[in-house]
């Protein structure tokens, strides 16, 4: 079995409107919804890893040892975008994507016969800049 899902809501904020310099800065936060719509195939995945219900799941099929690696947790993205007012071009953008998860190695595809959980974190940070 291989499974990967996430469920997010959007929170949009106008951080800055600079009419003199002709740009606006938006903050787009991708946050867990109050009731995420992800399939959590095992009961142990229901327990929140962080301060919200789990909105991210990743299950990898059999590894070299014939076991399954299953992780569940909270995923967020903060995206800040600087936009040119005259033409709508993206002048720059940053993305900060964090996944806080618990991971288990399981002997069965039902994810019932699993080892102890270990903390698992993924952080992706991306910067974009418009080149002249």
Provide long-range contacts, Cβ within 8 A and 24+ apart, for 82-85.
Answer: 82/23, 82/24, 82/25, 83/23, 83/24, 83/25, 83/26, 84/22, 84/23, 85/19, 85/22, 85/23, 85/24
Domain extent at residue 37: 3-129
Buried b (16+ CB within 10 A) or exposed e, 61-77: eeeeeebbbbbbbbbbb
Q: What is the pLDDT of residue 2?
A: 85
Give the model's pLDDT for residue 61.
85
The pLDDT score that the predictor gives to residue 128 is 97
pTM metric for this prediction: 0.87
C-alpha distance across the termini of the chain, in Å: 47
CA 12 to chain centre: 16
How many C-beta atoms lie closer than 10 Å to residue 42's C-beta?
A: 17
Nearest Cα to Cα of residue 31 among 77, 72, 71, 100 = 77
Residue 11 is predicted with a pLDDT of 97
Residue listed under structure tokens 């951080």: 15
pLDDT score for 129: 97
CA of residue 127 relative to chain centroid, distance: 17
Backbone angles phi, psi at 110, to 5 degrees: -80, -10
* pLDDT value of position 21: 97
Structure tokens at 34: 């109050």
The pLDDT assigned to 63 comes to: 81
How many separate domains does the chain show? Answer: 1
pLDDT tens, N- to C-terminus, the chain (132 residues): 688 999 999 999 999 999 999 999 999 999 999 999 999 999 999 999 999 999 999 999 888 888 999 999 999 999 999 999 999 999 999 999 999 999 999 999 999 999 999 999 999 999 999 998
């Amino acid at each position: 079995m291989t499974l990967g899902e996430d469920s997010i809501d959007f929170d949009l904020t106008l951080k800055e409107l600079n009419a003199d310099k002709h740009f606006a800065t938006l903050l787009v936060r991708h946050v867990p919804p109050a009731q995420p719509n992800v399939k959590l195939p095992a009961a142990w995945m229901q327990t929140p890893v962080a301060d919200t219900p789990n909105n991210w799941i990743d299950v990898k099929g059999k590894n070299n040892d014939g076991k399954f690696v299953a992780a569940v947790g909270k995923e967020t993205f903060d995206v800040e975008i600087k936009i040119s007012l005259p033409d709508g071009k993206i002048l720059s953008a940053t993305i900060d994507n964090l996944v806080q998860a618990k991971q288990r190695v399981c002997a069965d595809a039902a994810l019932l016969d699993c080892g102890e959980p270990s903390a698992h974190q993924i952080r992706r940070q991306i910067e974009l800049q418009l080149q002249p």
